[in-house]
Amino acid sequence: MNRKVIICLSIILFGSFFIDNFVSENIIHLQHPILTSVMEWFSHEITVLVILVIISALFLYEEKKNRFIPVLFMSFITALIVTYFLKFMIMRPRPFGIVPFDFSLFGIVLTFVDYSFPSTHAAIAFSVLPVLDKEFRKLKWFWIFFSCVVAISRIYLNQHFLSDVIAGSMLGYMIGHYVMRIGEKHGIEKILHEL
């Protein structure tokens, strides 16, 4: 990635921390039932997974670009792991506060807190962009639009602060960019096959 772009995005991220509360407190005034339904659809985990990962993998398969399918999935999985690692390191409460919820696994009840920083939805959505941009240039603006709406939906639904989404988007895109470079240079499918 271009160093100037990284510096510019870092300045934007830094500035966003100063307006986080203002945005979260005033987003309520923009909410409308129809728009909320649309944003909930974009924000749903299944929507993000199906549109950005599964359908994209099918496109790659149809276009005989199978070597980029592991890159797509590695970008997705890496973004997921890195964001959750950072969430539990930083432990920033969500705009509505910390709400623990119980999760049952094989009869064992675990209490789980999903923190705010960075946004996993934004990171995942932006992590697949480098692959999709390279292989489906004609659909570039669709993928960018979809990823941006996913990120914005998290702010609109008051699930994240503005800085969470900006950080998640930047982190996801950088992960996707570097996974794509490793995939092109060394071949991720070969690395995975060796494991």
Q: pLDDT tens digits, residue range 159-189?
A: 899 999 999 999 999 999 888 888 777 665 5
Quick check: 128 and 176 in contact, CB under 8 A? Answer: yes
Write down the pTM of the prediction. 0.81
Quick check: 42 and 150 in contact, CB under 8 A? Answer: yes
Token representation of residue 69: 């399918």
Helix, strand, coil percentages for the chain (3-state, nearest 5):
75, 5, 15
- Decide which of 88 and 44 is more confident: 88
Summarize the confidence of residues 110-119 as an average pLDDT.
Answer: 82
Q: What is the pLDDT of residue 81?
A: 93
Q: In Å, how far are 98, 126, 180 from 75, measured between CA atoms? A: 28, 9, 8
Return the domain boundaries, the chain: 21-194
Residues of the chain above pLDDT 70, percent: 82
